[in-house]
Amino acid sequence: MIRFTSTELRPLLSQQGGMQRPLLLEKNLGIYIRVPDDRNPGEWLRAWAEGCNPSKDANWSENADLLILEKEYAFQTFMEQSKFDAVLNEHHDLFMMPSAGPLGTGMTIRKETRPPEKVYVLVEEYRSNIRWLYDQSLRHLPACVGNAERLSWRSQALSVLDRVIRLDCKRAKPADRTMFESAVRSVRSSVSEVMSDGSFRYAGTRR
């Protein structure tokens, strides 16, 4: 199946309208989902499928051909609420696959979400990312001045979670894992404090 990470999908799904916006799954020099970019009229945002991005994946063409046989492909689809929430709130991966619909209905896109696939790193990188997480909630958020800065911080913190939450280390000690889980909870708690207008959920929560 075609896999998209929450890191790739968040800029698309976080735009105004969210779940009501159509998603275009396309194959054309790689495989990606694209939607109009609200901040740049006439431009499109793309979320690249894992292994199918010409700018970073050496075997992108072969990978794309294994996933979709057609040389070019385009299909419009929508995200269900449960899958939308799983990607944005739980940092799940989204899997898609063109398939035949019920008898007489033509082709469709089968979709499912799964917890993020693990990416194994060395101990030092694992610990460095723990510090990076703690910095988000303990240093960067308190340094924000005003709602606009807090909104920017919230977006950045979610992007950090998208990348870090999937990391693991085979040589990590129990204490490392405890700190990792604590750091994730700290960032998630801080994110939940910042409302959609940048204000704190509870007056006086932070100074």
Mean pLDDT over all residues of the chain? Answer: 91
Q: What is the pLDDT of residues 9-28, one digit of tens each?
A: 999 998 887 778 899 999 99
pLDDT of residue 207: 47
Q: Give the DSSP letter of residue 49.
A: P
25 - beta bridge partners? 33, 75
Query: Number of C-alpha atoms within 13 angstroms, CB side, residue 28?
Result: 10
Report, as an integer, the average pLDDT of 174-198.
Answer: 94
Q: What is the pTM of this model?
A: 0.85
Q: Does 68 score more than 60 pLDDT? A: yes
Domains of the chain: 2-114 (3.10.150), 119-193 (no CATH)
Q: Is 57 left (phi over 0), alpha (psi -120 to 50) or beta?
A: beta
Return d(Cα 101, Cα 75) in angstroms, integer: 13
Q: What is the pLDDT of residues 135-164, one digit of tens each?
A: 999 999 999 999 999 999 999 999 999 999
Contact 193, 205 (CB under 8 A): yes
Contact 151, 198 (CB under 8 A): yes
Q: What is the pLDDT of residues 70-120, one digit of tens each?
A: 999 999 999 999 999 999 999 999 999 988 766 555 678 999 999 999 999
| Burial (Cβ within 10 Å: 0-12, 13-18, ≥19) of residue 144 | middle
Tokens 């939308």 found at:
84
